[in-house]
Structure 1
Amino acid sequence: MRRANTDAAKDLRRSQFLEAGLQEFFERGFSFAKMENIARSAGVSKGTLYLYFDSKEELFMEIVSTVAIPRVEMLESIMQEVGDFELALDRLVNALPLMIRDSKLPMIAKVLIGDAFAFPEVVRRYRQEVIERALAALTLLVQRGVDAGKLEADNPQNVARLMIAPVIFSAIWTVVFEPADKQKLDLGSLFATHKSMLLKALKVKEAR
């Protein structure tokens, strides 16, 4: 592969490294992933790869920044634009299935869960930059509903954790169990059911 000389060529090369890196991490786990394998998959020497990334950790965090952070920002945007809890849930029910099916988030989740003890610093950063940001946005949404007298929730943060649980479940299911089963999980139906259960559990009695 020829050397990337222009900014556009460098960006393309970088995206090729991220794609090859995620596939390597996904198939082999973080501990056994090798930079030389990633370089080979991208069609370059290991030395060229190290010009872009100093380590596996740096490469993986760049993957997280490219794949996961924009999805968290989208979720935060929904929470900020739509103050009403039920309307925000509608937006999430429409957005989350696409987020899981049409992105690499499930692959990242599988790497993190399967090999978390091998790179605790990366896991810590992922929790801070992705999980905690998502939980904070959801917690604020629930708290606004409580403050407006529309929801009953003693602990909005725990409600936020329960709201995000099907996302984690779906991500793991799609990359671990679906390959062995031809029938795909109906994510739209799953999240619609989750929304219905949340509303029944959280709406104040007078509003039900």
Structure 2
Amino acid sequence: MTDEAKDQRRQALLSAALNEFFEKGFAATRMDDVAKRAKLSKGTVYLYFESKEAMFIALLESLAEPKIEMFESVMEQVESFEVAIRTLFEIVPVIIRTTEMPRFLKVLIGDSQMFPDIVALYRDAFIERALKLIAGLLTRAHNAGEICVEAPELTARIVVAPVVLSGIWHVVFRQDEASDVDLEALFRIHGDMLIRSLKAEGAK
């Protein structure tokens, strides 16, 4: 089997695992269930992943890691706080609508009490990095005189809160077009509010 074929099989297993986790919860999912959904033998599954936990970690690496690295890259290149916020909130609706991140988040919330170590892994690998990234942006903008913010770490949580809520809404409460949310408009409004409320007096 070629390396490309092996990678395709691995990705098929990860996709099947996420679907099972999302529909049944992490605790209730069995390796047999993942194998059947991926149309592979249980033995084949164990050639790639030794456990459900290993699958989950692989999902974390394939879904969350690239997103946070992209955000870090964007934050390094932006010219100002306003540009950073507007760029960030142009990306967020795309991630919510076109990636598996919201479903991954739902799995975490559903099993958070039963598997605290896995939740902690996600928190450290993604949530804490995202909060640190935003807090750093706020601190730099404050020091540059662009904005006035007293508590960057706490303010960072206000910045990202609508992202988490929108992700949950997208996979839990949205059932049809009538219950959908105009994410572009929502994050444009959120960005405008942040910029206006934090803008330092006299800043351009």
TM above 0.5: yes
* Match among 40, 44, 50 for residue 46 of structure 2: 50
Match of 1:168 in 2: 164
Is 1:145 aligned with 2:141? yes
Matches within 5 A, 1:93-108: 93-108=89-104
Match of 2:88 among 89, 92, 96: 92
TM-aligned CA deviation for residue 83 of structure 1: 4.2
Paired with 1:83 and 1:128, the residues of 2 have a C-alpha distance of: 28
Assess if the C-alpha contact under 8 Å between 1:139 and 1:157 holds in 2. yes
Name the CA distance, whole Å, in 2 between partners of 1:159 and 1:192.
18
Question: Cα offset for 1:181?
Answer: 5.9
Q: Does residue 67 of structure 1 match 2:69?
A: no
Q: CA deviation at 1:78?
A: 1.0
Question: What are the superposed Cα offsets for residues 116-168 of structure 1, whole Å, 9 maximum, x if unpaired?
Answer: 11211111111111111111111111001100111111111111111111110
Structure 1 unaligned blocks of 5 or more = none
State, as a whole percentage, how many aligned pairs show the same letter: 44
Instruction: Check conservation: 2:32, 2:42, Cα contact below 8 A.
Output: yes
User: Runs of 4+ in structure 1 displaced over 4 angstroms?
Assistant: none
Q: Secondary structure at the match of 2:94?
A: helix
Give the whole-Å Cα distance in 2 for the aligned partners of 1:83 and 1:112.
35
Amino acid of the structure 1 residue aligned with 2:20: E
Matched residue count: 204
Deviates more, 1:58-67 or 1:179-188: 179-188
Match of 1:40 among 31, 36, 43: 36
Structural mapping, 1:116-135, within 5 Å: 116-135=112-131
Residues in 2 aligned to 1:64 and 1:182: alpha-carbon distance in whole angstroms: 31
Three-state SS of the structure 2 residue aligned to 1:44 is coil
Give the TM-score of the pair, scaled to structure 2. 0.96
Shift of 1:53: 0.5
Structure-1-length-normalised TM-score: 0.95
SS at match of 2:113: helix
Preserved contact between residue 173 and residue 179 of structure 2 (Cα < 8 Å): no
Give RMSD over aligned pairs.
1.2
Confirm or deny: 8 A CA contact 1:83 1:141 kept in the other structure. Answer: no
Please list the CA deviations of residues 65-112 of structure 1 after superposition, one character each: whole Å capped at 9, or x if unmatched. Answer: 111111111111111111411001111121110011010000011001
* TM-aligned CA deviation for residue 171 of structure 1: 0.5
Q: Which runs of 5+ in 2 are unaligned?
A: none
In 2, the alpha carbon distance for the partners of 1:176 and 1:129 equals 24
Q: In structure 2, what is the Cα distance between the partners aligned to 1:71 and 1:107?
A: 15
